[in-house]
Amino acid sequence: MTPVIRSAALLSALGAGWIAAWQLGLRDVDQSPVYGFFITALLGFGLYASTSGIVIAEFRAQFRTVVLAVTLGVLAKVALIFAVMFFAFREPEHLILAVAVAQIDPLSVAAVRAKSRMSDSAKALLAAWASFDDPITVLLTVYITAYALQGGAVGGVGSFAVNLVLNLALAGAAYLLWRLVRGRVRQAEEGRRALRYAVRAVMVVAVLAVGFVAVQHALLLALALLGLFFRPNLGRWVDGLAEAGMVLAIAAVGLVLAAEFSWALAGVGVVLGVAAFGAQAVVAFALTSPRRWRGDRMRLALGQQNGLTAIILALLLEPAFPGSIAVVAPAVVVVNLLHVVTNGAYDRLRPPLSRAEPEPEPAREPDRPQRTREPSATVPPLAAFRRVNPAP
C-alpha cells in the first residue's frame, strides 16, 4: 500500500466513523465495555505485530542502545513533552497525554523503512526502538492513570508491580510451551504442506488464546514479549492485519471525535504534536553520540511517528480524561506531517555522501612511499585501500 493510498484509507475510515456516530446518534461510545475490550485487543495485536517483525540478530547487535532508548529515552521524552505542555497550559493532567505520544509507531516505521536512506544498523535500531517503547508507554500510561485517579496515592506502585509480575508470568508460561514444541514445529515446517498448515493453525490458536487472557486482564507487555519467540510463519498476513487494525482504530476514533471535537482542544493537540517531534530530536541526538551513528543522527532525530498505539491509548484514556482523543488525534496528524516534511526536505538538501564527504584515501595517496611491487591484477590499488562509508 502506497503512502497516498494508506492516507486516503485512514481518512476515509475516520470520516466513516464520524458520519456513523452522527447518523446513528451514538454518544458515550467509549463507555461501553465492548468498545473497551475491542480497543484493548487492537492495542495488544499491534504490540504483538510490532515485535514479531523484529530481526533478532539485528536486535541483539543494537541491544544496549535499544534498552537505553526504551527506558531512559522514553522517560526523557515524556519529561520534555510534559515540560512544554505545562509551560504552555499549566495543566498537570497533560502528563498523561505526554506519555501517550512519547512512543514511535512501529507500523509507520515499517511502512517507510524500505525507502529510507538510513544505514542497515540505523534501520534496525529504529525498528527495535519503535517496537519496544510501545509496551513501556502502555505500562507508564496504566500506572500514571491509576496514580492520578487515586489522587497521588502510592498504592499505584503496588498495582504496577503486580501487573508487571503477571505480565512476566504469562510470557514465561508461553515461552515454556514454545520450548516444548519448537522442535516439532521445525520438523513440521520441513514436511508436507498439509502438515505445515495444520501446525501453523494450531500455533495461531495458541497465540489467540494467550492474547485473549492478556487482553482480558490488561497484560499487554506479555503480548509484546510473545512476539519475540512465538511466531507462526504467516508471511505478510500479520502486516496486513496490522494495517487493517489501524483502519479499525481510526474508525473508532471517528466514533468518539464526533462528540468530542473542538477547535480549542485541537490547538492543544498541535502543541502536543510539535513537542513530541522535538523531544524525539533531542533524545535521538543524545543516544547517537558515538561516531558510528554520525551519518544517521539527523534521520534518527527526525524519526518520530505516531499511529495506532497513541490513538488507542487516547481512546482508553477518554473515559477517565474526557477530551483525550480530541487532543491526541490532531497531535498524531501534526507529528506525521512534520515527519514527512522534514525528512523530505533533509533528503533534498543533503547531497549524496560521495559529494559531501570525499574519500580520504585518494587525497593522501601522493604522501605514500612508492611501492616496488606491482599491484595485483585482480584488485585495483585504489579499491584495496578505500574505506566504504555506510549509505545515509
Kindly report, residue by residue over 185-238, the tens digit of the pLDDT.
Answer: 888 888 788 888 888 899 999 999 999 999 888 788 888 889 888 888 887 787
- Structure confidence at residue 176 as a pLDDT band (50, 70, 90): very high
Q: Convert the pLDDT of each residue in 84-97 to its tens digit.
A: 999 999 998 899 99
What is the predicted pLDDT for the residue at 149? Answer: 66
Bigger pLDDT: 210 vs 377: 210
Supply the mean pLDDT for the chain: 79
Every domain of the chain and the residues it spans = 3-350
State what percent of residues in the chain have pLDDT above 90: 20
| Predicted TM-score (pTM) of this structure | 0.73
- 15-29, 84-98, 368-382, range with greatest mean pLDDT: 84-98
Confidence of residue 366 (pLDDT cuts 50, 70, 90): very low
Residue 151 reports pLDDT greater than 80: no
pLDDT confidence tier of residue 276, bands split at 50, 70 and 90:
very high
Which of 28-37, 112-121, 164-173, 323-332 is the least confident region?
112-121
Q: Position 148: which residue type? A: A
Spatial separation of the C-alpha atoms in residues 166 and 382, rounded to whole Å: 59
Q: Which pLDDT belongs to residue 355? A: 38
pLDDT confidence of residue 333: 85
Answer CATH for 3-350 from 3.40.50.300, 1.20.1530.20, 1.10.490.10, 1.10.8.50: 1.20.1530.20
